[in-house]
Structure 1
Amino acid sequence: MKEGWQTITIHAQAPAKPPTGEVCNGCGVCCAAEPCPVSLALLWPHQMPCRALIWSDTELRYFCGMVTRPAQFLRWLPQGWNAVASRLFKRWIAADTRCDADVEAA
């Protein structure tokens, strides 16, 4: 393996990583390669891929579980706070906006 490279595992049907700056397509490369600020702050122990990375068989893409169902990953979070936490986390990590993963997928 080349120096500075890491191997990540993603679903075989995941879309290809878009170029940096293009619209997010749910490829999952970013969350499989390194933890986001939400993961670093709230999900312990840190692991790669992020344990909140969720594959959708129906949409053939990944979603952030901290955005779609945060109480599942934060057991201390009341279910009634899911919507508020979801909006906060989505904004914090700019989920589903533009690809900001400075990662080259081969």
Structure 2
Amino acid sequence: MNDTAAADRRVIEIRSEAPRKPAPGQPCNGCGLCCLTEPCPVGMLASQRRDGACRMLEWNEGTARYVCGLLTGQHAPLPVWLRPAAPLLRRSARRLIAAGIGCDCTLEVESA
């Protein structure tokens, strides 16, 4: 492996029950890879972070998939100053995160 490939590798903890990542362009299946890698633009605002897993990302035991807390209406992780905007964020989140457009994550997954 060359130095560039090694530098591009990251370790991300993903639940073993999570579905496999779909091919780019396919519908989102809740694998969580994109949000576990870094927050989307609205996730950066809500999470107050630019790197690492988005704090809005939640694991849903019932469906065995990751979901966006902004879409589910779970506002507990929102910063206090942003909580009054929670209803607006929830209504806008689908568009802001391009939900339903298709997977745009080009990362590859390797098992440990």
| Normalised-by-shorter TM-score class | 0.7 to 0.9
Counterpart of 1:54 in structure 2 is 58
- Offset, 1:90: 1.6
1:44 matched to 2:52? The reply is no
Number of aligned positions between the proteins? 104
Q: What 5-or-longer segments of structure 2 have no aligned partner?
A: none
Q: How do 1:1-106 residues align onto structure 2 when only pairs under 5 Å count?
A: 2-69=6-73, 71-74=75-78, 75-76=80-81, 77-78=83-84, 82-106=86-110
Instruction: Calculate the TM-score normalised by the size of structure 1.
Output: 0.84
- Offset, 1:83: 4.1
* SS, match of residue 90 in structure 1: helix
Instruction: Calculate the TM-score normalised by the size of structure 2.
Output: 0.80
RMSD (CA atoms) = 2.0
Greater RCO, CA 8 A, separation 6+: 1
Over the matched positions of the two proteins, sequence identity in percent amounts to 38
Hey, what's the Cα distance between the residues in 2 that align with 1:48 and 1:54?
14
